[in-house]
Amino acid sequence: MNMRDSNLNLRNFTTQIDSCLLEQGKQLLKSDAIVKLEIESRNLWFAEVQDEKLYNVKIWLDEEKFRHVDCDCHEQADTFCKHLAAVILEICEGLEIPASGDSAEIKEKASRLVRLERIL
């Protein structure tokens, strides 16, 4: 789903998506359904989420703003799905992004994660 014109970002995500999807994403996160989460590049995140089957999730960010999101489940059409919600919540948790996070702080934390990935 192309989100280039959207104002949705990591800071306002939890207040802007459907509350049922958010709750389902939280449940997936609590059940450790995210079996893989990688930064493929500074702006591209890839995840695998084990639900009824294994789903592939990709999230492209421009700093904290979503540019494109994709999940190969049948639930996603023009909106987010629970798999995307779970992965985004995991990214926010990993970057320690509060609901009112500073974009410079988010950019710095993402840079640190990329540097750490290169070391590993």
Quick: pLDDT tens for 56-98. 999 998 878 888 899 998 765 567 899 999 999 998 887 766 5
Q: List the beta strands (DSSP E) in the chain.
A: 34-39, 44-50, 54-62, 65-71
pLDDT of residue 118 exceeding 80, the answer is: no
> Among candidates 32, 19, 43, 51, which has minimal Cα distance to 90?
32
pLDDT score of 3: 67
pLDDT in tens, 93-112: 877 665 444 445 555 555 55
Instruction: Give the count of beta carbons closer than 10 Å to the beta carbon of residue 76.
Output: 18
For 78, phi and psi rounded to 5 degrees? -105, 20
DSSP state string for 22-39? HHHHHHHHHTT-EEEEEE
pLDDT of residue 37 exceeding 50, the answer is: yes
pLDDT score of 102: 47
Average pLDDT, the chain: 80
Report angle CA 13, 89, 15 to the nearest 5 degrees.
25
pLDDT score of 6: 75
